[in-house]
Chains A and B, each alone.
Chain A
Amino acid sequence: ETGVTQTPRHLVMGMTNKKSLKCEQHLGHNAMYWYKQSAKKPLELMFVYSLEERVENNSVPSRFSPECPNSSHLFLHLHTLQPEDSALYLCASSQDRLSGNNEQFFGPGTRLTVL
């Protein structure tokens, strides 16, 4: 156990559905991250939150909408997704973002399939 949990572990949705992914960290960290992992490709950083403020958005389509209500919880709201959005979505946290305490701890991921 890394101290980072994600729900659901698996999600199948149609292109017109709206769903949300949830991440929770029990490590007292100040930074949280969403990554997308597609087959045989490097992890893609989607969003970074530091102290509940979004600090990076790496040109992610607006059909992905993050929310960070507090430093322990992170959501990824999904709507009108495309089949190419099918991937493993990973959440991570670190003590800080802009310091040497950047070692990241990952959740188990949500396997998303868009039909």
Chain B
Amino acid sequence: KQEVTQIPAALSVPEGENLVLNCSFTDSAIYNLQWFRQDPGKGLTSLLLIQSSQREQTSGRLNASLDKSSGRSTLYIAASQPGDSATYLCAVAMDSNYQLIWGAGTKLIIKP
């Protein structure tokens, strides 16, 4: 059974720092991995989607990497800003049925 873990559960850093959020999964038979952002009281916004054949994806200050064999993904945020404060969720789509299995999220606070 696939399990997705995100560490840390919460993170607080000063504005301007570069930071890394971690996501690990137990079953490497994934189709893709997605990173989402959730602002308080709101739905989820897709940030990056990495296919299982890819190693990384970039969008602006965000870079997501995928190491399928070791069951890990990282989300790198460069030059963090207070507007980056949110909960970040990762989800893996299984090869067998494309169903998303979710992590519990990392709550990120960027201090001005």
Contacts and interface: CB of A to CB of B under 8 A. Distances in A.
A102 B31 contact: yes
A114 to B, nearest CB: 18
Given A43-B102, A99-B98, A106 B34 contact: no
A102 B52 CA distance: 13
Given A45-B99, A102-B93, A111 B104 contact: no
B104 A40 contact: yes
B46 A105 contact: yes
B1 interface: no
A104 B98 contact: no
B45 A98 contact: no
Interface residues of B, number: 26
Interface in B42-60: 42-46, 49, 51
B102 A103 contact: no
A56 B100 CA distance: 13
B97 A98 contact: yes
B112 interface: no
What secondary structure prevails in chain B residues at the interface with A? Answer: strand
Interface string B14-34: 000000000000000001101
Contacts of B34: 103-104
A42 B43 contact: no
Given A40-B104, A102-B31, A97 B43 contact: no
B66 interface: no
A107 interface: yes
Interface of A: 2, 4, 6, 40-43, 45, 48, 56, 90, 92, 97-100, 102-109, 111
8 contacts: A2-B43, A6-B43, A90-B44, A92-B44, A105-B46, A106-B36, A106-B43, A108-B41
